[in-house]
Amino acid sequence: YFAVGGTLQSNIKVLDLSWNNITDISKFYFRPVEYSLTHLYLSHNELANVTQAVFGSLPHLQWLDLSHNDIMEVEFDCFRNSKNIQVLHLSHNNIMDIPAEVLRSLKKLRIVDLSHNKLRALPDNVFTEPNLESLDLSHNQFMRLPIKSLSGPAAGSLSVLDIGWNMLSGIHTTDSISKLR
């Protein structure tokens, strides 16, 4: 359980809590820094879920690193009011499913790392915005290229798609990568 006596300084822009043993974060813990925080690093901890009560009200957050945790669940509205996230690292977790609303609501995403999870599929058109540059889906359990998860604008802006180390047995005509630039 993670709780710190007192309150966080309200002018903190970058907060690095990586490499600890954090298993849980108190509801609304980040409220004192919700309007100043732009970068939050929580990698290499023991977090099990991503909830709206913790991550949903950070309107200026641009970079979120939740890699190397034990995350199994990502709430559908976990980033409800955190719309400025551009870089999202969720690699090295135990995520089996990502609700479409989680990623669709993040219109400014440029870099997404979902590698080293247990994903088998992504919802159709989960990435719709033309800002997406890099999508890492390596080391998961995809059996087909998740091309349908990329709408035209998102596919057109993507310059890196890593889908290595999955369970692809072939590339089918319905998996057409023609919409990628």
Q: What is the pLDDT of residue 7?
A: 56
Provide, rounded to the nearest whole percent, the portion of the chain with pLDDT above 70: 90
123, 124, 127: which is closest to 161 by C-alpha?
Answer: 127
- Enter the pTM of the model: 0.91
Domain containing residue 92: CATH number: 3.80.10.10
More confident residue, 3 or 51: 51
Residue 54, CA distances (Å) to 41, 49, 105, 110, 166 in order: 14, 10, 17, 22, 31
More confident residue, 180 or 144: 144
Instruction: State the average pLDDT for the chain.
Output: 91
Q: Which two tokens stand for residue 33?
A: 């820094």
55 in Cβ contact with 77 (< 8 Å) = no
41 in Cβ contact with 65 (< 8 Å) = yes
The structural domain count of the chain equals 1
Segments forming the whole domain that contains residue 110: 1-180
pLDDT in tens, 150-174: 988 999 999 999 999 999 988 865 5
Residue 14 half-sphere exposure, CB side, CA atoms within 13 Å?
A: 2
Q: Is the pLDDT of residue 6 over 80?
A: no
Residue 66, CA distances (Å) to 36, 83, 90, 112, 155 in order: 19, 17, 5, 11, 25
Q: Is the pLDDT of residue 1 over 60?
A: no
Q: Is the pLDDT of residue 48 over 70?
A: yes
d(CA 175, CA 150): 11
